[in-house]
Amino acid sequence: MTAAPAETPPGPALPGPALPGASLPAGLRLETATGAALLRHLPAVARLRITVFREFPYLYDGAATYEERYLRRYAEAPGAAIVLALAAGAAGENVIGAATCLPMAQETATIREPFAARGLDPARFFYFGESVLERAWRGKGLGVAFFAAREAHARSFPGIDYAAFCAVIRPSDHPARPAGHVPLDAFWRRRGYTPYPELRCRMRWREVGAGQETEKELSFWLKSLSGAPLP
């Protein structure tokens, strides 16, 4: 669904700290994981991406082999991390949600170039990729926690002023739009993000039921992490 992983040297192989979970449901915790500590979790995150992104608005028809290869960059790129939502189970902890991030300087040209073309230095941005969560755990505060954890990770890097993410653009009359579908725009605004509809990128993926990949347009949302004015 996303652009091919950037070619970057291996990052640190140390797990991030477990995050406070006072506002999370019992038996659930968040951990910001980096480097080699991520590798054992990648198959579970890949399955989550395939399941969640199959839903509207992405309608992504994913494959596990590609997903695990794509996700390896979060274990290899300097500064990258995945915030894992881990739920206690009879056989140990299960990954029931994940949210990714990395310095935009480590992202692919697909993400960097729209910023550079407008005179915005990618080195000042942290890019937030996917945020995926099992349906049964939605509406329990994890979306807010994922943003908070990624923003905390991004702020730990000198020179980072902004967080950015992008979302696919779909018309309001799209034939696959479920009845009662509510876009996440209001949620993102409450998290402090501002839409930049003129700041866009293009990605290719195969939709459910389609025979081949097609190009999609996505627009960016930005937030200041340092107090610097938005560009």
Residue 70 included in any domain: yes
- The pLDDT assigned to 89 comes to 86
Query: What's the one-letter identity of residue 17?
Result: P
- Please report the pLDDT score of residue 52 as a whole number: 96
Stretch 86-109: mean pLDDT: 94
pLDDT for the residue numbered 20: 44
In a domain, 1, yes or no: no
Range of the domain at 51: 24-224
Q: How many domains does the chain have?
A: 1
Which of the four pLDDT bands, split at 50, 70 and 90, describes residue 100?
A: very high
- Per-residue model confidence (pLDDT) at position 23: 76
- Does 4 reside within a domain? no
Supply the pLDDT for residue 91: 79
Q: The tokens of 83 are what?
A: 């915030």
CB 70 within 8 A of CB 5: yes
Q: Write down the pTM of the prediction.
A: 0.89
**Among positive and negative, which fits the CA dihedral 57, 163, 84, 15?**
positive
* Domain annotation covers residue 124: yes
Specify whether the CB–CB gap between 82 and 100 falls below 8 A.
yes
In a domain? residue 52? yes
In a domain, 230, yes or no: no
Please answer whether residues 161 and 104 qualify as being in contact, where contact means their C-beta atoms are separated by less than 8 angstroms: no
pLDDT per residue over 8-33, tens digit each? 222 332 334 444 444 788 899 999 99
Say if 167 falls within a structural domain: yes
Q: Average pLDDT, stretch 178-204?
A: 96
Question: What is the rounded average pLDDT for all residues in the chain?
Answer: 90
The domain that holds 162 is classified in CATH as: 3.40.630.30
Look at residue 12 in the predicted model and tell me its pLDDT: 30
Task: Classify residue 204: in a domain, yes or no.
Answer: yes
For the segment 106-131, what is each residue's pLDDT rounded down to a tens digit? 999 999 999 999 999 999 999 999 99
Q: Hunting for tokens 């590609």 — which residue is that?
A: 66
Does residue 177 have a pLDDT over 80?
Answer: yes
